[in-house]
Amino acid sequence: MKDVAEEAGVGVGTVSRVVNGGTNVSLKTRERVEAAIRRLNFNPDPIAQSMRSGQTKMFACIVRDFSVPILSMFVNAMQDTADVSGFGLQVASSYHDTDREIVMLERLARRRIDGIVIASSSETDEGLLETISSSEVPIVLLDRDKPDNVDAVLIDHRAGVRTAVQRLLDLGHRRIAMLSGQKGVRPVRERVAGYREAFSSRGLEPAEELIRCGSFTPDFVYSETAQMLRSEARPTAIYAGGTAMLAAVLRAIRDVGLRVPQDVSVVAGADSELALLHTPTISVVRWQHDQLGAAAARFLLSRVENRKAPVQKMIFPTEFIQRESCGPAPS
C-alpha cells in the first residue's frame, strides 16, 4: 500500500479508503489510485484485511434445494445487492436436514462469515432454534418467523391461497385438495390457514382428508396426488403449495388419465417456466423473489453496521394469477 501511495502521489490512508470501498475520496483521486494499483499489480490480502477490520466481506445463503429454479432469482438479487457494498456470497444447500443446518451454521460462524440467510427446515426443533437465536453472526430468516428475535423476510402466502381457493369455490369446486410440506414451517401453516379462511368466507367446511401436508419432495407429492385422484370421492381441484410441487402433480394427473382443467383444476404455489409453458397454462400464486433477495441482503448489510438495531421484519405481498388451468367443477 505504501508503494501504491507513492506511485499515485497520495497518502496510505487514501489508498486504504479506495481499496476498502470508502466513499470519502474524490473521483479524480480514486482513478489515480486505481491506475497505480493496476500498474503495480497490487492485490490486497483478504485475510490480512479481515484480521484488521474484523470482517470477511462475505455473506452466505443456505437454501433447501438447488434443484428449485425459482430460488436462483432470490440468490441473484441478494448477490447483486451485496456486490454494491463489496460483499461476496457463498451459497449452500441443506436438503431440508435439521442436523446439517446446525453444522453448517456453526461452521460458517467459525469461518467468520459476516452474515447468513437461511430458509430453515424446522421452526420447532429446539437445537436449531437455539443455534439461530444465539448466533453471534447476523442471520436473516427466509420466510420463517421463528425464532422471533432474528431479522426475517416473509411472504404473505395466506392472502394468496385464500384468493385462489375462493376463486375455485366460486367456480363450483367443493373438494379442493391442499398439498404442501411439513406443518412445522411458516409457509405451510400460512397456506393451510388461507385455505381454511377461503372456505369459511363462503360458509363452507373443507374436506379434512384432502389436506395433505408432509413433504415438499416429488415422491410424496406424486403419491398423495395419485392416491386422491384414484379415490371414488376424488378432488376436482388441487392447490400445490410448494415451489417445486407442480411437476409431480401434473405427472400424477396424467398417469391417472385425467385432464386439466376438464377433470381437475390446478393452482401452483409459485410461478415457474413450467406453469407458463405447460398446455394449458397453470394458474399460480405469485410473488417477487428478486425483491425478497434484495431485502435480505439489505437487512444483513444494515445489521453488520448496527448489531443493536431493532429486529427487522418485512412481509411481501402475493397475487393470484388465473390462467387456463382453472375451470368450472365437473358435474
Cell numbers describing residue 12: 496510505
Give tens-digit pLDDT for 176-221.
Answer: 999 999 888 999 999 999 999 999 999 999 999 999 999 988 999 9
**Domain of 88?**
54-155+288-318
Residues 208 and 136 both lie in one domain: no
Q: pLDDT tens across 53-78, in order?
A: 556 789 999 988 777 777 888 999 99
Query: What is the residue-wise DSSP string for 52-64?
Result: HHS---EEEEEES
Residues 81, 164 share a domain? no
The CATH number given to whatever domain includes residue 227 is 3.40.50.2300
Number of domains the chain is built from: 3
Cα gap 293→142, rounded to integer Å:
9
What are the pLDDT digits (tens) for 140-169? 999 999 999 999 999 999 999 999 999 999
Looking at residue 45, its pLDDT comes to: 64
Run of H or E including 241: strand 237-241
Q: What is the pLDDT of residue 274?
A: 93
Asked whether residue 325 is assigned to any structural domain, the reply reads: no
Closest CA to 93 of 114, 77, 72, 115: 72
Return d(Cα 331, Cα 318) in angstroms, integer: 31
Whether 292 maps to a domain, the answer reads yes
Residues 139 and 60 in one domain: yes
Statement to judge: residues 162 and 278 lie in one domain = yes
290-322 confidence digits (pLDDT tens): 999 999 999 999 999 998 999 999 999 999 999
Label the pairing between strands 88-93 and 211-213.
unpaired
| Cα radius of gyration rounded to whole Å, the chain | 24
Q: What is the pLDDT of residues 67-126, one digit of tens each?
A: 777 788 899 999 999 998 889 999 988 888 899 999 999 999 988 899 999 999 999 999
pLDDT digits (tens, 9 = 90+) for 257-276: 999 999 999 999 999 999 99
Answer yes or no: do 138 and 178 share one domain: no
Q: Which of 145, 163, 165 is nearest to 155 (CA)?
A: 145
